[in-house]
Amino acid sequence: MSTPPSHEAQRAELHAEVVVRAGVAAEWELPARHPAALLLTDRNVERVLPPALRALPRHVLAPGELSKTWAELEGVLQALDDHGLDRDGLLVCCGGGVVSDLGGLAAHLHRRGIAWDALPTSVIAQADAALGGKTAINLGPSKNSVGAFHAARRVLVDPSFLESLPEVELRAGFAELLKTAVISGEPLLAATETLSPQGLRSAHPEALDVLRRVIDTKLRLVQADPHDHAERQLLNLGHSFGHAFEALALGSLRHGEAVGLGLLCAARLAHDGGQLEARLRAALLRWDLPVRRAGDLGELLALMSRDKKRRGGALSLVIPEAPGHVELCPGIAPERAAEGLAAVLA
């Protein structure tokens, strides 16, 4: 009896391949060892699919976070079943973070796990969501509360997709670049501060360099701690605060916009006299990203205490003491979190 390559091995080793290059999406082809594939995409991305992907049977989502639901996940699983994909099947996810979060989870669950390829099309998906194997959907207001670890076999990051990305999406993505740059340290943060929306959209060499270094930073943290018990949690910088704003906004705030607000809240808790907070606020303003937001303090704190990052009932927050010096701080009291929220509450 022959033993096919284990899909667990691929999961443990994370991605077999991550390529960052303009034009790489157009080179995608169905690998010989996968007799069947299904494409998952959304109605916006469907208009700019590379030819090889257009040839695949497809399942198309409505664009946006509101598709990251239990019902849509069932729809993808049903499509995989209807198309007769067995354990050798491949799910190809071409789209933003919603497509890779939802699609990766469907790939994980279909017949107890099939391989998937990621072709991320938004800044957030290219810099963050499609990398590292975290997949999830939202359960009602509980963001990403249902999920699994299942890394895409290949991640093909093609900046050409950014040319047709809506302006607001491009701008929101900048906040995720900024987040990882703060974690990385002064050199990458300084480089990120010089980015312009037009440079990012046209994949200017300096922008592509920032994107590559952000991706490397994320992959290093993920490799050190694939299942999110230690170092990887630093990537939650700005997210505990951000998720609360996002949940409260019920779709009217983009994920990246929420992360930008969250960054300011987290920076407010640093003991640096407000230096980093001021730099981050200036950077967000240059990209026309929100730096103030109305919201009920009690509701926001309640949402944060429901967030999955708390452990053992206590609130854990990631605090950026300085670029490159970011710390996971467990046992934060609500009063302290409220101080952070004051950085942006209108």
Q: What is the contact mask toward a second copy in residues 123 to 162, using x (rule: CB under 8 A)?
A: -----------x-x--xx-x--xxxxx-------------
Per CB under 8 A, the segment of 56-64, 164-172, 227-235, 294-302 that binds a second copy is: 227-235
**Counting contacts by CB under 8 A, is residue 310 touching a second copy?**
yes
Footprint of a second copy on 88-107 (CB under 8 A): 88
Bridge partners, 147 (sequence order):
136
Query: In whole angstroms, how close is the CB of 71 to a second copy at the nearest point?
Result: 9
Per CB under 8 A, the segment of 186-194, 210-218, 282-290, 309-317 that binds a second copy is: 309-317
Bridge partners, 17 (sequence order):
154
**Counting contacts by CB under 8 A, is residue 302 touching a second copy?**
no
User: Could you write out the DSSP letters of every residue in 241-296?
Assistant: HHHHHHHHHTTSS-HHHHHHHHHHHHHHTSSSTTHHHHHHHHHHHHTT----B---
User: Which DSSP state fits 35?
Assistant: S
Per CB under 8 A, the segment of 78-86, 165-173, 174-182, 205-213 that binds a second copy is: 78-86
* Residue (105 or 162) nearer to a second copy, CB: 105
230: tokens are: 């230690």
Residue with tokens 């046209």: 202
In single-letter form, the type of residue at position 8 comes to: E
Footprint of a second copy on 162-191 (CB under 8 A): none
Q: How far apart (Å, rounded) are the C-alpha atoms in residues 236 and 107?
A: 24
Decide if 318 contacts 328 (C-beta within 8 A): yes
Q: Which helix (H) or strand (E) holds 157?
A: strand 154-157
Query: In whole angstroms, how close is the CB of 334 to a second copy at the nearest point?
Result: 15
Q: How far apart (Å, rounded) are the C-alpha atoms in residues 304 and 323?
A: 24
**Counting contacts by CB under 8 A, is residue 32 touching a second copy?**
no
**Counting contacts by CB under 8 A, is residue 30 touching a second copy?**
no
What is the distance of C-alpha 275 from the center of its chain?
Answer: 27
Contact pick of 31, 35, 57, 298 for a second copy (by CB under 8 A)? 35
Query: In whole angstroms, how close is the CB of 290 to a second copy at the nearest point?
Result: 29
**Counting contacts by CB under 8 A, is residue 232 touching a second copy?**
no
* Residue (140 or 251) nearer to a second copy, CB: 140
In single-letter form, the type of residue at position 345 comes to: L
**Counting contacts by CB under 8 A, is residue 311 touching a second copy?**
yes
**Counting contacts by CB under 8 A, is residue 228 touching a second copy?**
yes
Q: How far apart (Å, rounded) are the C-alpha atoms in residues 301 and 280?
A: 23
Q: Provide the b/e sequence for 93-132 (b: ≥16 CB within 10 Å).
A: bbbbbbbbbbbbbbbbbbeebbbbbbbbbbbbbbbbbbbb
* Residue (45 or 152) nearer to a second copy, CB: 152
**Counting contacts by CB under 8 A, is residue 328 touching a second copy?**
yes
* Residue (53 or 79) nearer to a second copy, CB: 79
Contact pick of 21, 111, 279, 286 for a second copy (by CB under 8 A)? 111
Considering all CA atoms of the chain, what is the largest pairwise distance in Å, rounded to the nearest integer? 66
* Residue (144 or 217) nearer to a second copy, CB: 144
In single-letter form, the type of residue at position 246 comes to: E
Bridge partners, 181 (sequence order):
none
- Kindly list the residues in this chain that would bind a second copy in the complex (CB under 8 A): 1, 3-4, 6-8, 35, 70, 74, 77-78, 81, 84, 86-88, 108-113, 134, 136, 139-140, 142, 145-149, 226-231, 306, 308, 310-313, 327-328
